[in-house]
């Protein structure tokens, strides 16, 4: 048994005073939730979340001793999250200590540079992994010597340095802490995590809760970001939350510390590329956590980085739905950002300098998603995020009610844009060329708070992409049911479980004028035998799909119906069904199954209506 492990054992007894107090409590019953009442009043929650709602954009940093491995262990390149390398490769704790923790020495780490970079990109807060699943604390913990200050060559406290840098630059600092997973507490790589209620209780008492309280007392974080709550008994997570609330009633707690029910806001699934309209009562405050490639920690061999435009548009989409984007970066083991991440950050900074006001301090838009893009709201100002620029310069804004006093591009504020009302819609006369290829922002200054409609406007001058994430699913998905929306990652931006003939995907739409359209569906149908990428808890992994797909898909546009066989497998398959002429006015658009011959019909991603000459 190495000295650090012996010390961890001693901590169990040193924390007896705290533990006795916790053990003396009766098991947490539903009535105990009332203990949170003083913190969960609407006024208390609004006060806590004020700065977070204002920020709308933050930087998530996954950085630890695993960053130096860069996704490789003794010649083996791992798939999935690089920060899971100890679990994936079943590295014994003693080997992890000697070969990963002790040599860690990020000589190029510069807290001021990190924080300035985040601020220039428009981020109002920074959340960093204070302790991830490997159990190595990234700060000078007095609770456990298994930390980078005492156990590594680095010998510095990066969280202390980041706290000082954030205070200087006016950014809020938050800490990720893995309260329910700690691979350092067992030395068997086959069973790296102590499980069972009593063992989980011991893990929390001897390390997790003391360290969380230590972070609050010594670093005053503005936000605490928990993870994997399902691995703790619910009552144990609630004990942690009660202790956090008592230690600092103002610290924001995400929905993964004690479950979404008790968090200040909802957290999406990992690596979202899509998310729904977020209109449910528990979706008022939420946060998406995309990452630049498919790993959160630095992975030298994962070159799946998305284009900067992807994140600019995802940021606008999140703000349009009243949410935040906590965008993840995995710095390298030496403390620097990878070149691909630097390019993304520089593009974000350039866009933010001109368009930041369309995100910062905004709230949920009153408009439905538009074929050309998204919109955000700030008091009487509506910001139009135009992703798809109209070829003729005429932008039709669907279902916008209220008087518009002035319109202009944020990139050219002195030059007014002509505005014309056409029934329930508004037409803007824009320049023929977009200012920003990713997202050109138009500011509409309204006489009063603008109002919108829920129907989607089908445009006759540009392609219309009707995403399943803006649709209604019938029958309504049940908790943990097969028929549901996917998680929204690059591999799960579709509906799943289409095995019943009564499953339907619907959109309520409207046309301002008649038009003729080519109709296509886009879907995923991973081949049941061929190796392909699938999503797992630890990121993308190569395996076989396991399901069969096939049947007949039907698209109903009002009274008109198009149908085609589902015969092709693969990812992002386009199936063109034909052309249809549609008249002006409201219309229900529906995708259904004529028949199902596979285990599922398909995994529908979107329906596309592309205008064509009649």
Residues 6+ apart with CB under 8 A from 468: 485, 493, 494, 495, 505, 604, 605, 606
List pLDDT tens digits, range 406-453.
999 999 999 999 999 999 999 999 999 999 999 999 999 999 999 999
What's the pTM value of the predicted model, to 2 decimals?
Answer: 0.92
Alpha-carbon distance 331 to 395, whole Å? 41
> Domains in the chain, ordered, with CATH?
3-11+59-180+271-353 (3.20.20.80), 373-453 (2.60.40.1180), 464-612 (2.60.120.260)
Collapsing DSSP to helix, strand or coil, 601 comes out as: coil
Pairing of strands 472-474, 504-511: antiparallel
CB contact at 8 A, 134 and 146: no
Encode pLDDT of 90-115 as tens digits: 999 999 999 999 999 999 999 999 99
Phi, psi of 319 (to 5 degrees): -65, -35
SS3 585: strand
For residue 36, name the pLDDT band (cuts at 50, 70, 90).
Answer: low
Which of the four pLDDT bands, split at 50, 70 and 90, describes residue 324? very high
Give the number of other CB atoms < 10 A from CB of residue 31.
Answer: 7
Instruction: Report whether pLDDT(2) > 80.
Output: no
Average pLDDT value for the chain: 91
The strand pair at 425-429 and 394-397 is best described as antiparallel
Segment 564-612, tens digit of pLDDT: 999 999 999 999 999 999 999 999 999 999 999 999 999 999 999 999 9
User: What pLDDT sits at residue 511?
Assistant: 98
Assess whether pLDDT exceeds 80 at residue 164.
yes
Nearest-angstrom CA–CA distance, 407 and 414: 10
Our CA angle for 263, 268, 274, nearest 5°, is 155
* pLDDT above 50 for 561: yes
DSSP category for residue 195: -
Give the whole-number percent of the chain exceeding pLDDT 70. 91
Q: Which of 9-23, 145-159, 197-211 has the highest mean pLDDT?
A: 145-159
Which stretch of DSSP H or E encloses residue 23?
A: helix 16-23
Instruction: Give phi and psi for 604, each to the nearest 5.
Output: -65, 135
Band (26; pLDDT cuts 50, 70, 90): very low
CA separation for the pair 28, 110 (Å, rounded)? 44
**pLDDT digit string, tens, across residues 352-403:** 999 999 999 999 999 999 999 999 999 999 999 999 999 999 999 999 999 9
Sorted by sequence, the CB contacts under 8 Å of residue 31 that are 6+ apart come out as none
Peptide bond into 475 cis (omega under 30): yes
Q: Distances in Å between the alpha carbon of 209 and those of 112, 197, 316? A: 29, 15, 37
């Amino acid at each position: 048994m190495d000295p650090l492990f012996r010390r961890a054992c001693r901590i169990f007894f040193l924390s007896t005073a705290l533990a006795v107090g916790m053990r003396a409590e009766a098991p947490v019953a539903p009535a105990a939730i009332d203990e949170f009442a003083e913190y969960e009043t609407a006024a208390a929650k609004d006060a806590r979340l004020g700065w977070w709602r204002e920020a709308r954009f933050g930087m998530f940093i996954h950085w630890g001793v695993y960053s130096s491995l860069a996704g490789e262990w003794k010649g083996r390149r791992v798939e999935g999250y690089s920060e899971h390398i100890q679990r994936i490769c079943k590295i014994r704790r003693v080997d992890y200590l000697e070969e990963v923790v002790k040599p860690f020495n990020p000589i190029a780490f510069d807290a001021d540079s990190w924080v300035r970079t985040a601020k220039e990109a428009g981020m109002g807060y920074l959340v960093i992994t204070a302790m991830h699943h490997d159990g190595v604390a990234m700060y000078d913990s007095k609770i456990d010597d298994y930390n980078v200050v005492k156990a590594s060559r680095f010998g510095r406290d990066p969280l202390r340095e980041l706290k000082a840098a954030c205070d200087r630059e006016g950014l809020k600092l938050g800490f990720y802490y893995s309260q329910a997973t700690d691979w350092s507490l067992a030395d068997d790589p086959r069973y790296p995590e102590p499980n069972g209620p009593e063992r989980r209780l011991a893990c929390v008492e001897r390390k997790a809760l003391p360290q969380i309280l230590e972070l609050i007392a010594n670093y005053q974080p503005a936000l605490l970001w928990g993870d994997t709550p399902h691995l703790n008994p619910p009552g144990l997570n609630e004990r942690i939350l009660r202790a956090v609330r008592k230690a600092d009633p103002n610290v924001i707690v995400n929905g993964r510390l004690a479950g979404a029910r008790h968090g200040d806001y909802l957290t999406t699934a990992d690596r979202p590329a899509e998310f729904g309209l977020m209109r449910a009562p528990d979706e008022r405050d939420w946060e998406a956590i995309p990452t630049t490639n498919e790993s959160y920690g630095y992975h030298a061999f994962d070159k799946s980085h998305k284009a900067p435009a992807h994140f600019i548009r995802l940021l606008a989409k999140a703000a349009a739905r009243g949410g935040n984007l906590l965008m993840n970066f995995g710095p390298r083991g030496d403390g620097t950002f990878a070149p691909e991440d630097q390019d993304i950050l520089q593009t974000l900074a350039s866009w933010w300098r001109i368009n930041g006001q369309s995100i910062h301090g905004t709230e949920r838009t009153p408009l439905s998603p538009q074929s050309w893009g998204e919109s955000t709201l700030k008091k009487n100002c509506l910001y139009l995020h135009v992703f798809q620029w109209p070829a003729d310069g005429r932008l039709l804004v669907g279902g916008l009610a209220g008087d518009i006093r002035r319109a202009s591009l944020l990139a050219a504020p002195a030059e007014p844009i002509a505005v014309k009302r056409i029934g329930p819609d508004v037409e803007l006369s824009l320049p023929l060329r977009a200012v920003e290829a990713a997202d050109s922002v138009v500011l509409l200054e309204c006489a009063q708070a603008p109002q919108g409609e829920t129907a989607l406007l089908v445009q006759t001058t540009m392609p219309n992409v009707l995403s399943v994430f803006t649709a209604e699913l019938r029958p309504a998905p049940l908790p943990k049911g097969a028929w549901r929306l996917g998680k929204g990652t690059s591999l799960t931006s579709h509906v799943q479980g289409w095995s019943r003939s009564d499953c339907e995907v619907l959109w309520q739409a409207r046309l301002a004028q008649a038009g003729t359209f080519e109709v296509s569906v886009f879907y995923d149908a991973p081949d049941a035998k061929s190796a392909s990428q699938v999503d797992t808890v630890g990121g993308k992994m190569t395996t076989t799909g396991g399901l069969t797909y096939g049947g007949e898909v039907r698209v109903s546009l009002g009274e008109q119906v198009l149908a085609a066989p589902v015969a092709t497998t693969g990812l992002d398959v386009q199936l063109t069904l034909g052309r249809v002429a549609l008249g002006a006015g409201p219309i229900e658009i529906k995708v259904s199954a004529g028949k199902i011959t596979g285990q599922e019909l398909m995994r529908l991603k979107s329906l596309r209506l592309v205008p064509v000459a009649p």
